[in-house]
C-alpha cells in the first residue's frame, strides 16, 4: 500500500539548498519537454535527502510547473523511490519465482533475523535497509541480491550475511559483475544523470549471460540477413507465418496418420 505524502518523515525533510535547486533546473533543461525530467530529478532528491521528501516533491513540482499531487503520483508509483529514509546501503533480495526456489526466500529470512529488521526497514545503526524485491533480471545467476542496484550473484544465506557484515564494517565491497559498491546517495546521484566516472569499472556480463553467444559462435550461427523478415512488409511477414503454420500442421497430420511418436513427446 502506498504511503500518503504526510507520512514521509525525515530529519532531512527541509527546503533544498540553492545548489540542489540549480541542479534540478539543469536536469529539466536537458529535455525537450521539461516534465520528462521528473524521474532523474526524484533520484537527485534522494541523493540529497535520502528519500523522496515532501520538500523534494514540492521542489520538483515548482521547477516543472506541476501540481505536487502529480509529482507524488510518480514518486509513489515506482518502487525505486522511497518515502522513508534509506540507510547507507539498500540491500534488495530477489524473492520472485526462480530466485525464491533457488534460495532467495531463505536468504531474505536469514537477513531479517541477522539485521533484526522487517521488510523495507533499516538496521538500528542506519547502515542497511533491507527489502525483498521482484525480478532483478538476472535469473541466470539466481538467487541474486542487489546492493544499491549492483548485482551479487549466486548468493547463499551465508554469503549474504557476510556481505551485509562487510558493508556495515566499512570494508570495500565489489559487485560480482560491476563496480565497487558506493553508498545509496552516491548511487542515486548517478541515476540522476551525474556520472561518477566508473561506468566501465568491472565486467558487465558473466559466462552465464554469454553462454548463448558462445554457443552461436562455436556453431557458426549468425543473425538473419536482409533476406529475412527485415524490410519486409507486415502483410508479407503474416503470410510467411501462416505458411509456416500450415506446413507444421501438415507435418503433424502425417505423423499422426503414420502412428509414429512426434519428436520431443513426453512418454509420461
Residue 7 has pLDDT above 60, yes or no: no
For residue range 167-204, what is the model confidence (pLDDT) as tens digits?
A: 999 999 999 987 899 999 999 999 999 999 888 887 77
For residue range 222-256, what is the model confidence (pLDDT) as tens digits?
A: 877 665 555 555 555 556 556 666 766 676 666 56
**Selecting from 3.30.110.30, 3.40.50.150, 3.40.190.10, 3.40.30.10, what CATH number does the domain 89-183 have?**
3.40.30.10
Cell of 4: 500518503
Q: How far is CA 134 from the centre of its chain?
A: 9
Between residues 36 and 239, the one the model is more confident about: 36
Q: What are the structural domain ranges in the chain? A: 5-75, 89-183
Average pLDDT value over all residues in the chain: 85
Give the least confident one: 40-44, 126-130, 220-224: 220-224
Closest C-alpha among 245, 243, 240 to residue 229: 240
Percent of all residues in the chain with a pLDDT value above 90, rounded to a whole number: 64
Distances (CA, A) of 70 to 35, 62, 77, 98, 156: 10, 11, 11, 36, 41
Percent of all residues in the chain with a pLDDT value above 70, rounded to a whole number: 79
Amino acid at each position: 500500500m502506498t504511503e500518503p505524502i504526510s507520512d514521509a518523515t525525515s530529519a532531512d525533510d527541509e527546503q533544498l539548498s540553492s545548489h540542489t535547486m540549480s541542479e534540478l533546473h539543469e536536469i529539466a533543461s536537458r529535455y525537450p519537454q521539461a516534465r520528462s525530467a521528473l524521474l532523474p530529478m526524484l533520484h537527485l532528491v534522494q541523493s540529497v535527502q535520502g528519500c523522496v521528501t515532501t520538500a523534494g516533491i514540492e521542489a520538483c513540482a515548482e521547477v516543472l510547473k506541476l501540481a505536487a499531487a502529480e509529482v507524488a503520483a510518480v514518486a509513489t508509483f515506482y518502487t525505486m523511490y522511497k518515502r522513508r529514509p534509506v540507510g547507507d546501503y539498500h540491500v534488495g533480495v530477489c524473492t520472485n519465482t526462480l530466485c525464491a526456489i533457488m534460495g532467495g526466500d531463505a536468504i531474505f529470512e536469514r537477513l531479517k533475523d541477522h539485521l533484526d529488521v522487517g521488510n523495507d526497514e533499516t538496521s538500528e545503526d542506519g547502515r542497511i535497509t533491507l527489502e525483498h524485491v521482484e525480478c532483478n533480471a538476472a535469473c541466470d545467476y539466481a538467487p541474486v541480491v542487489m546492493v544499491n542496484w549492483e548485482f551479487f550473484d549466486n548468493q547463499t544465506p551465508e554469503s549474504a550475511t557476510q556481505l551485509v557484515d562487510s558493508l556495515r564494517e566499512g570494508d570495500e565491497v565489489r559487485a560480482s559483475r560491476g563496480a565497487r559498491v558506493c553508498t545509496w546517495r552516491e548511487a542515486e546521484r548517478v541515476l540522476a544523470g551525474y556520472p561518477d566516472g566508473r561506468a566501465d569499472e568491472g565486467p558487465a556480463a558473466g559466462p552465464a549471460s554469454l553462454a548463448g553467444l558462445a554457443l552461436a559462435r562455436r556453431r557458426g550461427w549468425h543473425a538473419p540477413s536482409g533476406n529475412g523478415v527485415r524490410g519486409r512488409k507486415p502483410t508479407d511477414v503474416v503470410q510467411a507465418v501462416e505458411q509456416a503454420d500450415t506446413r507444421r500442421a501438415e507435418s503433424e497430420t502425417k505423423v499422426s496418420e503414420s502412428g509414429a511418436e512426434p519428436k520431443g513427446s513426453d512418454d509420461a
